[in-house]
Each structure stands twice: as C-alpha cells, then as structure tokens.
Amino acid sequence: MTNIGMRINTKVKRPAKELISQFENLPVPVIADNMNRMFCMNSTIRPFNDKPLLGQAFTIRTRPGDNLLVHKALDLAEPGDILVVDAQGDLTNAIIGELMALYAQKRYLGGFIIDGAVRDVEALKHLDIPIYAAGVNPRGPYKDGPGEINVPVNCGGAVVNPGDILVGDQDGIVVINPADAEQLLIHSRKKLQLEEETKKEIESLNWDRTWVDEALISKKTVFN
C-alpha cells in the first residue's frame, strides 16, 4: 500500500566518495560551461555563508512552510549528504534555522539547499556547514506534513535526484548526474587549464581577440 505525498524512501544510491571529492576546487562556472550551461540552479538560490558545498543529494519535497519531513531527513541522512528541500519557493515561513543547522553540522551532513526561506541568518553566517536558500523570514514553520523524502525534486528550477552530485560556491550550484561525472571531470580540468593560460595572455596583452570580429562578420554586422 502507498500513501502518495507522504512517503519516505530510506535507500539512496550514493556515488563513491572518491568520485565526489574530485570536484573539489573546481569552480562552478567551469563545470557549468562543460554542461552546455545547463543544470544550474537559478539565482534565487543564494549562499548564506562562504562555505563551499560538495556532496550528494538527499532530497525532500515538503508542503510550503512545513518542515516535518526535513526533521525526519536530518535523522536519516548520512555524513556528506546535502539536504535539498523543495518547498516550492515559498518564503512565508522559514524551513530551517540555527538549531537544525547546528544539528546537521554535528552529524557531519554536507549542507542545505532550500527552495524556500531560512531564519537566524546572523548565526548561519558563522556555521561550518554550507547553507543555500531562496530567502529569509523570521516566521517559524509548521510540522504537519505532507511531504516525501528521496524523490526527484525541483530546486531553483533544476531537477535534482537522490544521489546527484552537487557543487556550490559563491556563484551558485550545479547539479551533476553521477553517470556523467568522470567525463565532466576531464573536460572541466581542461577548461580550467585553458583559463589559466588565458590569464597569462591577458597579463602580457597577448589575448587573441580576433574571434570577436569574426563572430560579428559572420552575423553580417554593419559597421558605421
């Protein structure tokens, strides 16, 4: 028997820690450029401290303004899991605050991404756990449900599946299917190396800019 909208899936297929760790120190824009500029959360999801985010998704879909299932996820999640909460972008009530964040930090969870509001912002700034959210509201949440754990969710306009690799920095968050990770690492490292070479060219004023005029000419641009 099933109860649609009130379900908890306890099993998550997590990618190997060794695979996830290889994305450390790769800037999110570099990764995103190698995903055809797709699979990024939109700018409504912003960081509330400067802790870099890296780990695997542990997803929660909840009714706007309610965090009952988020509390359950706090106890079910494993170290390194990032709680991705689809609260439908509603900012009426905070989904988490300092106490829940402290508990997650104590359990070595990988962070929070909340398509909804948080509170206790001053405290969140100083915690050693990355926290991203869509907004702030001091009004506390309800604890009634419904909701689901470890199902596909929409967070910041991006689909996130349980076990997806998440990388976040001050520019935002990119969502990676583990099946694409190895190839993406190769291309992202090459892209990063090219950017380092470009920086040297800029420093010496040898940056090749001929492509700009070539692109304009190909579009039949009129120069007056």
Q: Can you give the pTM of this predicted structure?
A: 0.95
Query: At a CB cut-off of 8 Å and minimum separation 6, what does 56 contact?
Result: 12, 14, 15, 20, 80, 81, 82, 110, 163, 164, 165, 166
- 187: pLDDT strictly greater than 70: yes
**In this predicted structure, what is the pLDDT of residue 2?**
84
Please check the confidence at residue 43 and state whether its pLDDT lies above 70: yes
Q: Give the closest residue to 104 by CA, choosing from 46, 41, 55.
A: 55
Local confidence band at 95 (pLDDT 50, 70, 90 cut-offs): very high
Q: What is d(CA 212, CA 201) in angstroms, rounded to the nearest whole number?
A: 16
pLDDT at 1: 60
Average pLDDT taken over every residue of the chain: 97
Q: What is the mean pLDDT of residues 6-24?
A: 97
Q: Would you say residue 215 has pLDDT above 80?
A: yes
* Region 142-157 average pLDDT: 98
Q: Residue 115 carries which side chain, given as an amino acid letter? A: D
pLDDT for 81-91, tens place per residue? 999 999 999 99
